[in-house]
Structure 1
Amino acid sequence: MQENFLHKKVTIIGTGMVGMSYAYALTIKGFVRELGLINRTPERAQGEAMDLCHCLPFVEPMDIKAGGYEMCRDAQIVVITAGAAQREGETRLDLLHKNAGIIQDIVPRVLEQNPNPILLIASNPVDVLTYVALKVSGLPSSRVIGSGTVLDTMRFRYLISQYYNVDARNVHGYILGEHGDSEVPVWSRVNIAGIPLSEYCMMCGELVDSQKKEIESDVRNAAYHVIQKKDSTYYAIGLALVRITQAILMNQQSVLTVGTLVNGEYGIKDVCLSLPCVVGSNGISQVLANPMQQNEVEALQNSAAVLRKALDSIGW
């Protein structure tokens, strides 16, 4: 394994609710030593930096600054959360035309200051925008990472844990594909404390198909429900981004369902979507194509087709 970076720097582009929930969580976690904030309205970024700096007597030492794209220099990770937010009644793909142009503007400006960062994309529709960022940047696919279905997977594990009344950290399972309506819950690979779900059901009560469908629906529609009640989602995606950041900066070689370019896995090519990936200091070192049931493979292929259609619609 590569040695950990001694100087850990992250730059966030976009200081809205997602960007700042992420920044606040990073400040509390304490494993980043320098944090740069960039926003199209500089005063907003300056105010956010001031507010975070007032936390410093209670957390690990950090250097928190706001500025222009010079903030990207020497950053191991540049995180893009900028873009139009999803509103009530909108799907993530409805944001496509608005946010693809924003990514095309941001990425070259980042690379002018830092030619080889790891780009972490969180703006929606994240799978499409990860692909756009990859093509615009010319960086290796290992270094352009989408937040993908890390959040969806968190929701999936949480809901299963609630059903069985166990710690969510002992539930293992994945949501793959699009971070959106075509996402795929891989029930065949779910386990609780290493016990396959089918066996666990026999011991602790069966999770019947109707209940599985309810969990799938709750995961798929979670963002819509939150947006309906409080206009936007930000805490959970903020922590999902922290988890990815920690895997990179600590070179943890963690398996996370981040978005990446798919080149043949499950018969899918030339789209970015989420599969279990090994994530460390060089970004994605391995994509894990685990065996799945045929209906799950077909659902994943359908998810890829949805994303390819979206990319075709904007000329990619």
Structure 2
Amino acid sequence: MESEKPVPPVKIGVVGTGHVGATFAFTLLLRGLARELALVDRRRDKAEGDAMDLNHAVPFARPVRIVAGGYETLEDASIVCIAAGVAQRPGEDRLNLLRRNIAVLREVVAGITAHCPEAIILVASNPVDILSYAAWKLSGYPAARVIGSGTILDTARLRYLLSRHYRVDPRSVHAHIIGEHGDSEVPVWSLANIAGIRLEDFEGYEPEAHRVIFEKARDAAYEIIRRKGATYYAIAVGLARIVESILRDENTVLSVSTLVNGYHGVRDVYVGVPAVVGRNGVERVIELPLAREEVEAFRRSASILRGVLDSLDL
């Protein structure tokens, strides 16, 4: 039996130690995916406190050095996750909020390019598709090395909910959500299956149940935020899964946000699609043979993103 590929002794940076960034760092610690973690946050005390707290967990986990500081602490990092952003002000419209987040991103990307020019950038901040495109433009890095979390979490939510309906292991459910990580995202029902069996041929198939399941997957973040204020556990694990596929050079197909040029007619936009993720970042994009209505919905979703990008100075 082939043994699992070892994880090389790498340094991973996390910029933004809010709920998502701190939980992501904790997940990396538990899974032994880094030899060194570098935490950066505008609230330096917060990053330092997280580093102290995480270091105290090392005796229970695997050897890892955890440091906090300015962008210089990212020196020689192989992967840097951007989880930084500003909160919406009362009465502030989304476009102005986005422009303020772009301003933050400019500073972050400048820090990354100055200290780890060979790093892969992993974007977790929202709106992730827009900020991933901006990070690509601002960094000057090849698009393969700037990856957004995209619809990896939406896809996981869909698979989980389908697994509950059909009473199977979520890992046996093969289904994707593509497009914007947001309200216009698209479920690919035409290719969804369980163990190779199309859903419409699987025991318990109910078209109306699928509609409800997708709506629950799409709107899950709103429901979680209403109950506890933020989502961070599942996305942290999803980000760690992307990192693992890169470090182990697994070439795993994951639903991430990446640059597409000609994907069902969509060009020059970062959008969630299945992609092969390996040592070099996005190795290639998988163009799904979508049904006609899915192609149309995907194009509409991408056009929304393109419209937002056109309103920005990038």
**Structure 1 and Structure 2 fold alike (TM over 0.5):** yes
**C-alpha contact (below 8 Å) 2:38/2:74 kept by paired residues:** yes
Once the two structures are superposed, what CA deviation does each residue of 1:87-144 show, in whole Å capped at 9, x if it has no partner? 9999987842231111112101111111121000000000000000000011000000
Local SS of the residue matching 1:264: strand
CA positional deviation for 1:207 = 2.0
Q: Letter of the 1:125 partner, please give it.
A: P
Q: 1:199 to 1:94 in 2, by over 3 A?
A: farther
Q: Letter of the 2:204 partner, please give it.
A: G
Question: Are 1:194 and 2:192 an aligned pair?
Answer: no
* Alignment match, 2:226: 228
Distance 1:164 1:93 in 2: 40
Q: 1:224 to 1:87 in 2, by over 3 A?
A: farther
Task: State the number of aligned residues.
Answer: 310
Of residues 290, 293, 299, the one that matches 1:292 is 290
* Alignment match, 2:36: 34
Q: 1:197 to 1:90 in 2, by over 3 A?
A: farther
* Alignment match, 2:205: 206
**C-alpha contact (below 8 Å) 1:92/1:124 kept by paired residues:** no
**C-alpha contact (below 8 Å) 1:92/1:180 kept by paired residues:** no
Question: Are 1:71 and 2:73 an aligned pair?
Answer: yes
Local SS of the residue matching 1:244: helix
**C-alpha contact (below 8 Å) 2:7/2:33 kept by paired residues:** no
Of residues 261, 264, 280, the one that matches 2:262 is 264
Of residues 273, 279, 282, the one that matches 2:280 is 282
Once the two structures are superposed, what CA deviation does each residue of 1:51-82 show, in whole Å capped at 9, x if it has no partner? 00110111011111111111221111000000
**C-alpha contact (below 8 Å) 1:88/1:228 kept by paired residues:** no
User: Which structure 1 segments of 5+ residues have no match?
Assistant: none
* Alignment match, 1:244: 242
Distance 1:237 1:243 in 2: 10
**C-alpha contact (below 8 Å) 2:151/2:177 kept by paired residues:** yes
Question: Are 1:306 and 2:308 an aligned pair?
Answer: no
**C-alpha contact (below 8 Å) 2:8/2:247 kept by paired residues:** no
Q: Letter of the 2:41 partner, please give it.
A: N
Q: 1:196 to 1:178 in 2, by over 3 A?
A: same
Per mean C-alpha deviation after superposition, the further-off stretch among 32-41 and 91-100 is 91-100
Of residues 124, 138, 141, the one that matches 1:139 is 141
User: Which structure 2 segments of 5+ residues have no match?
Assistant: none
TM-score, scaled to structure 1: 0.94
TM-score, scaled to structure 2: 0.94
Distance 1:182 1:8 in 2: 37
Local SS of the residue matching 2:264: helix
CA positional deviation for 1:85 = 4.8
**C-alpha contact (below 8 Å) 2:23/2:233 kept by paired residues:** yes
Q: Letter of the 2:294 partner, please give it.
A: E
CA positional deviation for 1:294 = 0.4
* Alignment match, 1:119: 121
Q: 1:296 to 1:283 in 2, by over 3 A?
A: same
Supply the RMSD in Å over aligned alpha carbons.
Answer: 1.9
Identity of aligned residues (%): 49
* Alignment match, 1:83: 85
Question: Are 1:101 and 2:99 an aligned pair?
Answer: no
Of residues 51, 61, 64, the one that matches 2:63 is 61
